Amino acid sequence: MSTPESKEVAVSLKNITKTFGSVTANNNISMDIYKGEILSLLGENGSGKTTLMNMLAGIYAPDGGQIFVDGEEAVIRSPQDAFDYQIGMIHQHFKLVDVFSAAENIILGMPGKQKLDKKAILKDIRETVDRYGFEIDLNKKVYEMSVSEKQTVEIIKVLYRGAQILILDEPTAVLTPQETEKLFLVLRAMKDHGRTIIIITHKLQEVLELSDRVAVLRKGEYVGVVNTREATESSLTEMMVGKKVELNIDRTDPVDVKDLVRVEHLTCLNKYGRKALDDVSFTIRGGEILGIAGIAGAGQKELLEAIAGLQKAEAGSSIMYRAIDNNDEIQLIGKDVNDIKNLGISLAFVPEDRLGMGLVGNMGMVGNMLLRSYNEGRGIFTREKAPRELAEEIRDKLEVSTPNVYTPVRKLSGGNVQKVLVGREISLAPRVLMTAYAVRGLDINTSYTIYNILSDEKKKGVGVVYVGEDLDVLIELCDRILVLCEGKVSGLVDARTASKEELGLLMTKYSGDHIAKIHVEKLLDDDAPAGDEEA
């Protein structure tokens, strides 16, 4: 067994360059990966981590530079080539056949005899499974599996093909803290068996916990590599961002808290008739940030959309909005977006799908400001002056980097797109501000800008709802955290005393067999929004 100290090079990258059009994703990157180590590849969104690893996995071909495997130059032009060099990658978006079992997916595309000897194959796979301590039922169909089980299948698939070098792209992004722990155990076992593991991530705590060395990329450039033992969270952040960053969220104690929206017995069906929300009750209070945690698809989207007037609710549901001026309560169920607006209720909503729902990608900032106000004023024509001034104000205040306010927003970076959206929603002077995955895909600085904006709104007395996936942030930013599990409320905790493990357990409190149903629906769903994929 080799150790990192032996410094035997498994893969060596020399001057690797990759461009997409005018964008340089990787510029002249040279680095070594040692045999039997766990290497973290760290960098912000868009820093080129995934692109670099895709070149090892045969998804992209480099424009310039060389790759050496075991000291010999390797030309990797397809995933098959990569397997020939014993390199396997587990992508962020799983590539499995849903109606096949785990074992069938694992052997799919492998050479073999005409007739499948299922018993022998199962025994063979079982051996790999036991060696590293995976927990998996090999006969289970993929559509019945949770995200973490699917990931396990992907990993076994790669191991079974004899990969010595495993690349995992953001493997913990979709896992609960407990599942993450299990994954780390398996990864350590693989390292003990001499495999080399590269894990792409931007989560610092995991980097420190798991890896031997950390390589850092910034804006397509290679910054350097450090031994994890010598690194700290702040030293790594500095390498990632290029300057010192204050990583504290300024959380003030809520003052003058008032009930704004009382949600009671809210039940919604999704378009396949399954209960996306099941008897949900809670209160949004002005002057505090209410976090909403849950694994993907636990009902977060339907919850926000029901409040915003975009999702039909079942009989018996109630969403009461309290008008602060006269204390009247208004029932929001049965009202659509325009009804709510016409009642004078200022409700701002930053949806998860920024360019597909919150904004129009082909319009500039001005056109997107108009989205909320085009219908104002009399006459049949739109007015251009007010939205232009608003766009300029947001550009200056939130430091949106754009050639001009008419440049289509789809050409802006993810962070700037989000600033445009959040800026517009805040300009409505909302009573209630709902955000879904507000920092997904954003760089660290922009993320903190967003956290500060949300905290400022809270201080103004706005009821802020923050649907998030990073449990650390939820615990640091919010005042209370509502946990959803399969459409039901599985807990409401005080963020100041909550722990990640506690939230993780609540998130999977009612795990049942209907995971299968959700995944069948996903198969039927052709308009599911595309994930934020890294360029």
Partner 1 sequence: MKEKSKIKKEPLIKLSRREDIDRKHSWTFRALAIVAALIVDGIIIMVIVHMNPFDIYGTMFAGAFGTSRKVWITLKELSLLLLISIALTPAYKMKFWNLGGEGQVLMGAWATALCMLYLGNTLPGPLLLLVMFLAAVVVGAIWAMIPAVFKAKWGTNETLFTLMMNYVAIQLVAYFIIKWEVPKGSGHVGIINQATQSGWLPYIGTNSYPLIVGLVVLVTIGMHVYLKYSKHGYEISVVGESQRTATYVGISVDKVIIRTLILSGAICGFAGWLMVSGSDHTITTTIAGGMGFTGIMVSWLAQFNVIVMILCSLLIVFMGQGASEIATSFGLNEAFGDILTGIIIFFIIGVEFFINYKVHTRKSSGKEEA
Q: CA torsion sign, 296 to 297 to 303 to 305? A: positive
Interface with partner 1 in residues 274-333 (CB under 8 A): 308, 310
Least distance (Å) between residue 414 CB and partner 1: 17
Which secondary structure element, helix H or strand E, spans residue 11, and what is its range? strand 9-20
Q: Which is nearer to partner 1, 249 or 355 (CB)?
A: 355
363 binds partner 1 (CB under 8 A): yes
Least distance (Å) between residue 53 CB and partner 1: 19
**The one segment of 241-249, 357-365, 480-488, 515-523 that binds partner 1 by CB under 8 A:** 357-365
498 binds partner 1 (CB under 8 A): no
Write the secondary structure of 303-360 as one string of H (helix), E (strand) and C (coil): HHHHHHCCCCCCCCCEEEEECCCCCCEEECCCCCHHHHHHCCCCEEEECCCHHHHHCC
Least distance (Å) between residue 350 CB and partner 1: 11
Which secondary structure element, helix H or strand E, spans residue 428, and what is its range? none
Running DSSP on this structure, what letter comes out for residue 385? H
Q: How far apart are CA 207 and CA 450, in angstroms?
A: 24
Q: Which is nearer to partner 1, 77 or 131 (CB)?
A: 77
Q: How far apart are CA 16 and CA 14, in angstroms?
A: 6
445 binds partner 1 (CB under 8 A): no
353 binds partner 1 (CB under 8 A): yes
496 binds partner 1 (CB under 8 A): no
Tokens 């995933």 sit on residue: 79
Q: How far apart are CA 75 and CA 522, in angstroms?
A: 37
502 binds partner 1 (CB under 8 A): no
**The one segment of 16-24, 38-46, 172-180, 443-451 that binds partner 1 by CB under 8 A:** 16-24
Binding mask 368-407 for partner 1 (x = CB under 8 A): --xxx-xx----xxx-------------------------
Tokens 């007739």 sit on residue: 115
**The one segment of 221-229, 363-371, 389-397, 441-449 that binds partner 1 by CB under 8 A:** 363-371
Among 241, 323, 357, 505, binds partner 1 (CB under 8 A): 357
Among 5, 7, 9, 20, binds partner 1 (CB under 8 A): 20
Q: Which is nearer to partner 1, 21 or 512 (CB)?
A: 21
Task: Tell me the chain's radius of gyration from C-alpha atoms.
Answer: 25
Closest CA to 187 of 309, 119, 90: 90
Least distance (Å) between residue 84 CB and partner 1: 5
Interface with partner 1 in residues 35-64 (CB under 8 A): 61, 63-64
In order, the DSSP letters of 38-89 are: EEEEE--TTSSHHHHHHHHTTSS--SEEEEEETTEEE---SHHHHHHTTEEE
Q: How far apart are CA 316 and CA 325, in angstroms?
A: 27
Least distance (Å) between residue 398 CB and partner 1: 21
Q: Which is nearer to partner 1, 372 or 460 (CB)?
A: 372
What type of residue is 291? G
Number of residues interacting with partner 1: please give it, by CB under 8 A: 46
Q: Which is nearer to partner 1, 64 or 316 (CB)?
A: 64
Q: Which is nearer to partner 1, 137 or 339 (CB)?
A: 339
Least distance (Å) between residue 127 CB and partner 1: 24
Which secondary structure element, helix H or strand E, spans residue 284, and what is its range? strand 275-286
How many CB atoms are closer than 10 A to CB 189? 14
Q: How far apart are CA 356 and CA 106, in angstroms?
A: 35
Least distance (Å) between residue 420 CB and partner 1: 13
Least distance (Å) between residue 74 CB and partner 1: 7
How many CB atoms are closer than 10 A to CB 132? 18
Q: How far apart are CA 195 and CA 55, in angstroms?
A: 19
351 binds partner 1 (CB under 8 A): yes
341 binds partner 1 (CB under 8 A): yes
21 binds partner 1 (CB under 8 A): yes
Beta strand 213-218 with 221-227 is antiparallel
Interface with partner 1 in residues 84-103 (CB under 8 A): 84-85
Strand, coil or helix: 176: coil
Least distance (Å) between residue 230 CB and partner 1: 36
Task: Count how many residues are written for the chain.
Answer: 535
Q: How far apart are CA 20 and CA 52, in angstroms?
A: 13
Q: Which is nearer to partner 1, 233 or 336 (CB)?
A: 336
* Burial classification of residue 470, based on how many CB atoms lie within 10 Å of its CB (0-12 exposed, 13-18 middle, 19 or more buried): middle
**The one segment of 98-106, 134-142, 216-224, 361-369 that binds partner 1 by CB under 8 A:** 361-369
Among 7, 30, 75, 296, binds partner 1 (CB under 8 A): 75
Task: Please give the residue ranges that form the binding site for partner 1 (CB under 8 A).
Answer: 17, 19-23, 61, 63-64, 72-77, 81, 84-85, 308, 310, 336-338, 341, 349, 351, 353, 355-363, 367, 370-372, 374-375, 380-382, 411
